[in-house]
Amino acid sequence: MPDILRGFSNTNLAELTAPSLGGRLSVVEDTIGLWRNSPTQQILERIQRDERQWNMISSLSWRDDYLAHLGGYAAEALASRYVNPIDSAVWQNACGAAQLAQSCALPEVLEHFRTRAELLTWKLSTLPSLDWMQSPSHLSVFNEVSAFSDLVAQSVRVDSTLRSAMTLFSGTLIPDFGGLAGYRQFLDAAGFTLSRWPRVRLLTAAEKRRRFKLTLQQKAETPHLKRAKSIVHRYELILREIIDSAMAETYGEDWAMSRLTVCGCRDLLGKWQNRGGEILDHADYAHYERIMSHPEHFSAVFEAAFDDRDALAELIRRAGQLRARSHHPGHPFTMEDLRDLRLTWRSIETGLLALTPDFDIDI
């Protein structure tokens, strides 16, 4: 491995993982992973296999600083020049123009961000026309655009420096390139690039499958949502059993036939008659509320467990609302909702306990 890569792979990564970072080890591991999977790393690995191309880069005295500042644009430029090796005449012209650009005046706010000759050489070498780098007016503007793009790349917030540079740059006269493509090539080469949409790319079947799998993972239920569904499932089954048992004890085993029409649950009776099974397996929270809070049912059955009919109806109604939040997509279910769900069902549980038998009979 060339010395420059060995230095980055061993020395710098060793420093990154030094014990002084303490609890930030996971952040460091993520950073290392991003580097190893980055286009820059892949480009450098490809260049290593071409001794002539690597020798050209490693022979430059600025190689360490260059790689340290290698960004998205520079990586793309390096990849392009690896695939299409730099013509010696183009390289020599770019070197001369970069040296000349160092004497070009820059606004004071951009002077600190002046692109050094070595990196500017690479940028200039990507221009499609030698005439552009040989023209003083083009070179001066290119130098300013390059400095401004470096300022933007290094800015982490909009401060007075960036605002001043933007004001100055907006007044810069860009040479006439005869068309939009020329402007784009000139600004791109200087590093002042923008995302261009839409970009149409055919997805492979494997990539579509990976994206679908990632989407499934992102839709996974949160721990508190899983807990909520478990609570609802268990309590609702118990609620059905106790309602059925309490109503049967007062009105007989066929209570559904005589009492559901009284409390406005004729639709529930129809479902049960059509589908069979247990009567309350077809019920929802509106049915629970009607059955339990009906004046006759409440006074004969449920008043022994709940002292207020309206309060009972509100508890059942609230349990149904929280159940809907936890079971239906599009309804955000928060930790506060889980808290309210626990409180609601624990309150209902207190009343249901009063409806269960006080003793067992062993025969």
How confident is the model over 111-133, as pLDDT tens digits? 888 888 888 888 888 887 777 77
Domain assignment of residue 109, yes or no? yes
pLDDT of residue 8: 39
Token duo for residue 337: 């909702």
Residue 71 forms part of a structural domain? yes
Where among 44, 68, 85 does a domain terminate? 85
Helix (H) or strand (E) holding 349: helix 335-354
CB-CB contact of 287 with 319 (8 Å): no
Asked whether residue 235 falls in the same domain as residue 343, the answer is yes
345 and 232 in a common domain? yes
Which range of residues forms the domain containing residue 306? 224-354
Sites in the chain below the pLDDT cut of 50 = 1-25, 27-28, 34, 49-54, 57, 59-75, 77-79, 81-83
Identify whether residues 144 and 97 lie together within a single domain: yes
Residue 337 lies in a domain: yes
pLDDT at residue 22, rounded to an integer: 44
338/225 Cα distance (integer angstroms): 8
Examine residue 141 and state whether it is found in any structural domain, yes or no.
yes
In the chain, DSSP assigns E strands to none
Claim to verify: residue 16 and residue 77 sit in the same structural domain? yes
Of 99, 103, 119, whose CA–CA distance to 111 is shortest? 103
Are the C-beta atoms of residues 337 and 325 closer than 8 Å to each other? yes
Task: Tell me: do 70 and 95 sit in the same domain.
Answer: no
Looking at the fold, whether 57 and 148 belong to one and the same domain comes out as no
Domain for residue 359, yes or no? no
Both 169 and 241 in a single domain? Answer: no
Residue 54, amino acid: W
Looking at 85, 118, 145, the residue that finishes a domain is 85
- The gap between the terminal CA atoms of the chain, to the nearest Å, is 86
Q: Could you give the number of structural domains in the chain? A: 3
Q: Is residue 140 within a helix (H) or strand (E), and if so which, with residue range?
A: helix 136-154
**193 shares its domain with 253:** no
One-letter identity of residue 125: S
Helix, strand, or coil here: 102? coil
- 134, 167, 200 — which closes off a domain? 200
What pTM does this model have? 0.47
Q: Contact 302/252 with Cβ under 8 angstroms?
A: no
How many whole angstroms separate alpha carbon 205 and alpha carbon 216? 17
- In degrees to the nearest 10, what's the CA dihedral of 245, 246, 249, 252? -80
77 and 14, same structural domain? Answer: yes
Same domain, 117 and 177: yes
Closest CA to 191 of 156, 142, 155: 142
| Helices within 219-334 (DSSP H only) | 223-251, 255-259, 266-275, 285-293, 295-300, 309-327
Query: DSSP character for 101?
Result: H
pLDDT of residue 68: 44
Nearest alpha carbon to residue 291 among 326, 325, 251: 251
Q: How far is CA 198 from CA 180, 195, 201, 216, in A?
A: 17, 9, 10, 26
95 & 59 share domain? no
Residue 245 maps to a domain: yes
Same domain, 41 and 161: no
Neighbours of 257 (CB within 10 A): 14
Does a structural domain hold residue 305?
A: yes
Q: Write down the residue that tokens 């939009």 correspond to.
A: 180
